[in-house]
Amino acid sequence: MFILDEFLRAKFTICALKKTALGINDIQDLFGDLIPKIHTLEVLNIEFKRGESILIVLEKTKGLEAC
């Protein structure tokens, strides 16, 4: 809940929320640009096998310019 509050305080709009289990292909699609620099696919797969994840789609006017 605290994380969502931080997004709202930063003026992000929550466009979508979905609770789902992620498979190895989903992890590759979502984190492929971070592998192997920051994460390894095997470690992420172990972590995401623990249960369902919540995927959040955020939106903010000029959000990319603010980063």
Q: What is the pLDDT of residue 33?
A: 86
Measure Cα distances from 35 to 8, 38, 53, 65 in Å: 29, 6, 19, 25
pLDDT digits over 13-63, tens only? 989 999 999 999 999 998 888 877 777 888 889 999 999 999 999 998 876
Domain range list for the chain: 2-66
**CB neighbour list of residue 51: distance below 8 Å, 6 or more residues apart:** 21
Q: What is the pLDDT of residue 18?
A: 93
pTM: 0.64
Q: What is the pLDDT of residue 41?
A: 87
Q: What is the pLDDT of residue 66?
A: 63
